[in-house]
Structure 1
């Protein structure tokens, strides 16, 4: 008869969806997730059961791992040998499992991530505590199902005499579910299990008085009790785990950091490699060498420091930037009634207790049936011995064993099992002594039956049995806690000195926005006039600074750029440098007003801002310390059409002099402007006339006596004494006129500067004319004088800028 093909016409998505659903169900239930009752995945359960069945237990010699793997594959787990061997090896690794379930001889891997030796080289056997998971499995305590080929049976779960899921933890990824349960201390878990049995209404907080937190096999320090509480309540939570490190003194005032415990599941070799890379890349300063001195006595990683190394700072840096500190995420998912479920601590313990009640009940029923059967036989033997002569006579008169059993039953009322026991009785058992032994056995059986019936009849006695067995496990296998628990997660603060080599450098910023830093050697070897700059550009700000300092750069739009000096490109002094927009993006129409180098943000200093529309704002410097620096930050709030004109670092006592385009000057104390927040707009600094605006805002300390230099668009320059010509006033006034008013082509101030006797000035006109001027050539004038002309407006164009050029003043200093 020909085969008839049956073809189904189905949409591909239905077929794929259906098949993937079947596959997902399989890997959730039968591969990646542990059972809540015994804490084992199917492959682990099969390995332990196969080894127990094979007599590969703790009291017997070790046996080749390959034999066990073959046995597991052949009988229970029809998958690749590597999956079985890998699971077997993991159960033997004392840095991954808190209480190892398999003892292994040979190379079973290492905390450095080395692979284990092949299974043909290693030998294994069950550990003593693993036998506790399997104890009483032969007493019908758990369900058995046929194996993959129906040739033998395998258990669906192990009796599990301790809460293995919590004690050894579990990790796995299936379809749509993952689990991460950390290991815990056996003694603590057993105490908490007993508490949950004695007081079913106990809360997570009560259980946490006994279970302090995870107890990792590698020790370490766990931080974050709040995260623990959440994890134990909901099944999900986050804690921080860090290695245990101590700072030890060495000779000649040096120190070293010694790490003796690592966070759970951190690869030590990769950690040491990462630390060494950070040292070589100069990401961390002060580290001389990183060495792994681990031997058979325990973990030991040594970070040897240089003489000036900051041990606390370096340790914090490694906590933050390597796996010396990790975040552990609880995700306590286990299989409950063939369904994956996210569980807190109490539901896990309750599921285990329910399992134990069932196991002890089934075991008691099994032992009771056995005891009752034996008592029945013993009763028969005692009765037979009491009528021994008649029994012997009956047996001798019988044809065969079967006939003898029938005759005994008919003559004396023995049951079939009793008759079987009598006919099999050996002659020596008929001695006087053995009659006493039978009576003693009968008494013992009565007690056993009474005890087992009491357990089956009373929940209280059932719980007492579970408690007794748990306490016995605790007494034999519990050991002290290894992981230290700390309540708070410590905030890691890293000083800049740890990550940046402290070096004095020279920093320059041009008006067009080109920035660079150079070594003092490069600066000293260069001639100031040789600096490469774009045509029309000039140095706006230049100063010596340290690489641990910060540069605040302010723009006309009221923004500031937060630039750590060590991040400024290191160039030769002669080179142009890099445009600041490559470090922090700024708008094309945004120009730089000024820069200030800051060594420390904690000093009682202020930033005092003045805007084009006459606003003044004073804010404490510490408000400008930024964490984020990838884009411009707001320095002050500006009204529409307003711009930042000047910014100065002041100490709270400085003098402020505001100069306007129409020639007004207002001089008052800095303290007139009250202190406001970083994002505030400030208060009115000067009362402006219509169409007037601020061109310069100058600050000078109390006790100093600089001269004021004014430059007008008509090319006139005038020097005047502030103290003689201007009266000190208060803010928000018009101020005093500082130029003689002319009806025809009046003077308008372009720039105002503070100058000393030996200052050199540079002037620039709209047609590119440059004039250098020494202040000593100028006579002091009064407020009604318009000064002397240095640029011819008709021939050279209007004067557009005046500044104090650094290169001219440096030369003047050297000449003196």
Structure 2
């Protein structure tokens, strides 16, 4: 017994070696197509085995199980399910532009339904598949032994059609993947013929003939630049969109009809997705989505509600469903035993070279066959010319072998000629047969001359190739199904498509709670039963459309944006969502103003003022929310003084005339100036000086007011007074202003807050203290005071606390009311 050889290797070496061999096998012999015939090994073996068994288009169908068994037993020693799945794929006309197998029975569907078991279905090669195998018996391709060395199988099929691009391919192997879309046969042949005649043709020249993929499911391709990139580098991306139309129904309604869907999309999943969006109310206006596909073709009907925005809904569905997809080219194929990413011209050149090789090998085979036959025919003609001598020689021979030997020796026939003469039947010894042989000789000589010309003259070879491709085009080419558009169209979805336009009640509280409630819930509840804690109160209660926009401003100069439809929808008596659940605020940061606007493109500005006397205007368009608005607040006012805070934010409409800004400091200095004196600045700026403050003083509020408005002022001692706005002269910005309080030596009054209100307002204002406590003050109970008066006491500071804010009282069914109320 010879001693065994033991090798010491590390695990890394063993794993690397074994995985490398496995990877090579997967790449070359399983998942990636060959650039020449566009087939993976299992597909090639299926077509070869069915052709070998005579299971062709001109004969009857046979059980699929029989074909699968033949493939598995003779060529492909793998599971029968994988072979059958490959066979089914080759028969599916929504996956292949030109199916290579015809199948009777259920071969699956665009809904993702599996095919019936192979014992139920029948199959045969399609007519065009015959071109894949044409001339395979003429030594056109290399043959190799099968897995058990009992039969031979081709390493590649002759593939007289450019199958790689015609039917495309999809596969994933070790380290490589491929995604090649189907193309139009007629266009491919036109491109091949052009390149055959113009070897230096540019990609642009070829793309005039082959503009892009032609999917079996039709649809619309957008993005010619993506196609060009893919044809140049092998990688690229295009948008594939369903073919749709908007039809009118009876009763003024409309319907979106889908006739073609993107390649590879599961139709049933698509319809389910549309209905899921409808049920989840992600899109408004869809009444029903139905699959109406029948024998006449694909059809999806999306019925819309009356007065629905059909184009808007279609745009939303294109954007959010598989009615539009991104198709990514990754054109990888096996070229000379190596995986390569190929472009269009690379493939066309490779295919032409392969076909030239096929024709050359076929011609050599036919030439040899004709030469062999011509040799025999010439021998027979010679034999018939000396027939009596030949017969005499045969008759005196001992046997057949001796007869052949004598013919060779006596008349200089070759062995093959002698064998043919001996095998000649007696009825062939007629004058007629001599004529037939002479005709055959002339025909063979002509064919041999033609074959020799093909082999010696490349232009003749190219002419033969061109003629054969034109014949194929004439018989099998079909019109283009997929439309190609140059640019990818942008999908704009109006908010009205995704959000139902309905009125709701919106509330923002001092403590940071926000919510929206249906009007039904609001009206069925007590106004004050709003779910807030005892120490909290509303900053804003307003009826608004779900299509409106809410801006919340903090004392630290930030703005928080929320579309009204995204606010938490709860009952009126529920608390709602706290702003900290999505956006973190600083410990000392609080919301001081909330504003609801109908549109984001309004021409107005936000007037922002701070406690250190700064003010600025910022265009509403500057506050347009970014993609991170749900989790991040934006800075709208830069604070120069670390101790300063934002005190008020108001929306200013330029078209409203006769408005001025009124600001009053804590020590009672009031200043009135034009809005136009405040420049419009961008975000992250500190503004300009609104009022010139003394040391230790601060601006308490800055409000918009009309000339005939009035001011309601509250002091820290609980005194309330009214005064007319026009008592303050309109002056320049950044001045000290005039006193609106009577200065006391002991415990002087200081401004806590003030608001402006119309002269015809007769309701109540609400004073809020630091506890908080709430004190209503009826305007009708008080009279206008002078600029130098201190008003009358309305709040008992000992029992109620120190006043910090005043506002128009928020009541049920109120119009827009905010903590820092203005006449606007």
TM over 0.5: yes
Query: 1:176-255 counterparts in 2 under 5 A?
Result: 176-255=175-254
Instruction: State the Cα distance separating 1:734 from its structure 2 match.
Output: 3.5
2:42, 2:83 within 8 Å by CA — same for their partners in 1?
yes
Q: How big is the shift at 1:474?
A: 0.8
Q: Does 1:690 align with 2:695?
A: yes
> What residue number does 1:676 align with?
681
Cα displacement string for residues 276-305 of structure 1 (whole angstroms, at most 9, x for unaligned residues) = 222222222211111111111111111111
| Residue of structure 2 in register with 1:263 after alignment | 262
Greater Cα shift, 98-107 or 641-650: 641-650
Q: Give the alignment partner of residue 719 of structure 2, picking from 716, 723, 730.
A: 716
Give the CA deviation at 1:550.
Answer: 1.8
Aligned to 2:421: 422
Contact 2:549-2:564 within 8 A present in 1 as well: yes
Q: Distance in 2 between matches of 1:484 and 1:681?
A: 55
Is the Cα–Cα contact under 8 Å of residues 515 and 578 in structure 1 kept in the other structure? yes
- On the 8 A contact 1:707/1:721 being kept in 2, the answer is yes
Change (3 A) 1:357 1:689: farther
Q: Is the 8 A contact 2:754 2:805 kept in 1?
A: no
The question of whether the paired residues in 2 share the 8 Å contact of 1:560 and 1:632 is answered with no
Q: 1:458 to 1:612 in 2, by over 3 A?
A: farther
Please give the root-mean-square deviation of Cα atoms over the aligned residues, in Å: 2.2
Q: Which residue of 2 aligns with 1:286?
A: 285
| 1:274 to partner: Cα distance | 1.5
Deviation at 1:193, TM superposition (A): 1.4
Deviation (angstroms), 1:32: 0.4
Contact 1:759–1:809 (8 Å) recurs in 2: no
2-structure distance, mates of 1:576, 1:438: 107
Provide the rounded CA distance (Å) in 2 between the counterparts of 1:809 and 1:750: 28
CA distances 1:665-701 after superposition (whole Å, capped 9, x unpaired): 3322223333333454443333433333322121135
Aligned to 1:165: 164
State the distance in 1 between where 2:457 and 2:678 align.
84
3-state DSSP of counterpart to 2:608: strand
Please state if 1:94 is matched with 2:93. yes
> Which residue is equivalent to 1:639?
639
SS in 2 for 1:88: helix
Kindly state the Cα deviation for residue 142 of structure 1 after the two structures are TM-superposed: 0.6
State the secondary structure of the residue aligned to 2:37: coil
- Distance in 2 (alpha carbons) for counterparts of 1:272 and 1:588: 49
Alignment of structure 1 residues 293-692 onto 2, 5 Å? 293-628=292-627, 629-640=629-640, 641=642, 642-652=644-654, 653=657, 654-692=659-697
1:453-505 deviations in Å (ceiling 9; x for gaps): 11111222222211111111111101011111111112222222222222111
| Distance in 2 between residues matched to 1:460 and 1:242, nearest whole Å | 43
Q: Does 139-148 or 378-387 show the bigger shift?
A: 378-387
Structure 1 residue 754 displacement after superposition: 0.8
Listed one character per residue, the Cα deviations across residues 614-634 of structure 1 (whole Å, up to 9, x for unaligned) are 332323323333252222342
C-alpha contact (below 8 Å) 1:167/1:184 kept by paired residues: yes
Note the alpha carbon deviations across 1:220-249, whole angstroms, 9 max, x for none. Answer: 111111111111111111111121111111
In structure 2, distance between residues paired with 1:499 and 1:427: 92
Could you give the per-residue CA deviations for residues 729-765 of structure 1, whole angstroms, max 9, x where no partner exists?
Answer: 2333333333344565443322121134414222244
Q: Name stretches of at least 5 consecutive residues in structure 1 with no aligned partner.
A: none
Question: Contact 2:242/2:262 (CA < 8 Å) preserved in 1?
Answer: yes
Residue 25 of structure 1 aligns with which residue? 24
Assess, with a 3 A threshold, how the Cα gap between structure 1 residues 810 and 74 changes in structure 2: closer, same or farther: closer
Q: Select between 676-685 and 15-24 the one with higher mean Cα deviation.
A: 676-685
Contact 1:371 1:445 in 2 (8 A): yes
Instruction: Answer yes or no: is the 8 Å Cα contact 2:233–2:343 preserved in 1.
Output: yes
- Structure 1 residues 458 and 557 mapped into 2: Cα distance closer, same or farther (>3 Å)? farther
The answer for the alignment partner of 1:754 in structure 2 is 756
Give the stretch that moved more between structures: 95-104 or 367-376. 367-376
Structure 2 vs 1, CA of residues 271 and 688 (structure 1 numbering), >3 Å: closer, same or farther?
same
> What are the superposed Cα offsets for residues 171-212 of structure 1, whole Å, 9 maximum, x if unpaired?
011111111101111111111111222222222222111112
Q: Is the 8 A contact 1:100 1:127 kept in 2?
A: yes
Closer, same or farther: CA 137–592 of 1 in aligned 2, 3 Å: same
Specify which of 779, 801, 806 is matched with residue 783 of structure 2.
779
Question: Closer, same or farther in 2 for the Cα pair 1:784/1:614, shift >3 Å?
Answer: same
Following the alignment from structure 1 to structure 2, what is the Cα–Cα distance between the partners of residues 531 and 114? 53
- Cα drift, residue 325 of structure 1: 1.3
Instruction: Show CA shifts across 1:88-112 (max 9, x none).
Output: 0000001111100000011111111
Match of 2:12, SS state, is: helix
How much has 1:564 moved relative to structure 2?
A: 1.6
Contact 1:760 1:809 in 2 (8 A): no
Q: Identify which range, 332-341 or 526-535, moves more after superposition.
A: 526-535
Q: Provide the C-alpha distance between the structure 2 equivalents of 1:608 and 1:493, rounded to a whole number of angstroms.
A: 31
Distance in 1 (CA, whole Å) between partners of 2:586 and 2:261 is 48
In 2, Cα distance between equivalents of 1:423 and 1:809: 119
Q: 1:282 to 1:770 in 2, by over 3 A?
A: closer
- Matching residue of 1:81: 80
CA separation of 1:382/1:671 partners in 2, compared to 1, >3 Å: closer, same or farther?
Answer: farther
Deviation at 1:394, TM superposition (A): 2.4
Q: Is the 8 A contact 2:608 2:637 kept in 1?
A: no
- Return closer, same or farther for 1:689/1:346 CA change in 2, 3 Å cut-off: farther
Report the equivalent of 1:763.
767
Q: Structure 1 residue 331: deviation in Å?
A: 0.7
Query: In 1, distance between residues paired with 2:276 and 2:108?
Result: 25
Q: Partners of 1:133 and 1:770 in 2: how far apart?
A: 90
- Deviation larger for 679-688 or 126-135: 679-688
Give the secondary-structure state (helix, strand or coil) at the position aligned to 1:295: coil
Mean CA deviation greater in 148-157 or 725-734: 725-734
- What's the CA shift for 1:216? 0.9
- Residue correspondences, number: 808
Residue 119 (1) aligns with residue 121 (2): no
Matched residue SS, 2:811? helix
Which is worse superposed, 229-238 or 15-24?
15-24
Partner Cα separation in structure 1 for residue 215 and residue 671 of structure 2: 71
Report the Cα distance in structure 2 between the residues aligned to 1:658 and 1:742, rounded to whole angstroms: 22
SS at match of 1:589: coil
Offset at 1:805? Answer: 2.3
Of 79-88 and 323-332, more deviation after overlay is shown by 323-332
* Alpha-carbon spacing, 1:681–1:214, altered in 2? closer, same or farther (3 Å): farther
Deviates more, 1:581-590 or 1:567-576: 581-590
In structure 2, the CA distance between the partners of 1:693 and 1:350, relative to structure 1 (3 Å rule), is farther
Q: Give the Cα–Cα distance (whole angstroms) in 2 for the partners of residues 365 and 230 of structure 1.
A: 40
The structural deviation recorded for 1:711 is 2.2
Secondary structure of 1:208's partner? helix
Question: Which secondary structure does the structure 1 equivalent of 2:208 belong to?
Answer: coil
How high is the TM-score relative to the length of structure 1? Answer: 0.95
Contact 1:179 1:331 in 2 (8 A): yes
Matched, 1:734 2:736: yes
